[in-house]
Amino acid sequence: MALEALIFDLDGTMADTEEVHRQAFNAAFLEHGLFWDWRRPEYTELLKISGGHERVAAYIESLRLPENEKATLRELVGPIHRTKTRIYNELITEERVPLRTGVARLVREARDAGKQLAIASTTTAANVRQLITGALGEDMYYWFKAIVCADHVGHKKPSPDIYQLVLAELALSASECVAFEDSASGVNAARAAGLFTIVTPTLWTRQQDLTGADLFLHDLGDPDAPLDLRSSSLVGAPYLGLEQLERLHAAAMSATTDAC
């Protein structure tokens, strides 16, 4: 099967936004009169849980508190997450978080070659729009034919629901697409949907079990920021371009066919 579409996770994969998310969570806690402080090591562990709403809920369950106090805090999960989303969007607007190395280049290459583009993210739709328009511009936001977020499906990653909905909206099979992820839950979701998956972890996710991915790269590389020797050897070039991506995808599809 020829490669027809590139599907990107957002947070961590397209842009390393997790520090901004962490700051937004802590600011939201204060607005709600809670003196919780998610420090970096703690937030790194919480990132193993997909979805901000779910992270807050899991954190509450981990607290050593009487059941009646936990019950009160559970009622705050939704309001806290809505406050966090508002603060995050304000911070993203102010800071304009840049895309990770190679992302903008590969998106343009794929667009120029007539490939379809999509986003499969566990964040909210508002967060996706804010980041993409800030980093790429309003016009490029509309390059993505399908944008599926956590609020569009019943189950978040590592469930394959998000990817299955993306494939349905693109009207393509998994064998015609490539997924880009940065975390174990994302890799597991993409692979469960049958997608060839490339993982480019950040410092937040590098310690996770990413062995399910078809290809591990530290980033996608660029002409002025080439891949390390190991990665360039795997890719066959100083950076991952569409030509290399199509070759890797074709080899994987061929191997799958031979195995059958």
Catalytic residue annotation: 9, 11
Q: What is the DSSP string of the chain?
A: ----EEEE--BTTTB--HHHHHHHHHHHHHHTT------HHHHHHHTTSSSHHHHHHHHHHHS---HHHHHHHHTTHHHHHHHHHHHHHHHHHHH-PPPPTTHHHHHHHHHHTT-EEEEE-SS-HHHHHHHHHHHH-HHHHTTEEEEE-GGGSSS-TTSSHHHHHHHHHHT--GGGEEEEESSHHHHHHHHHTT-EEEE---TTTTTS--TTSSEE-S---BTTBPPPHHHHHHHTSSS--HHHHHHHHHHHHHHHHHH-
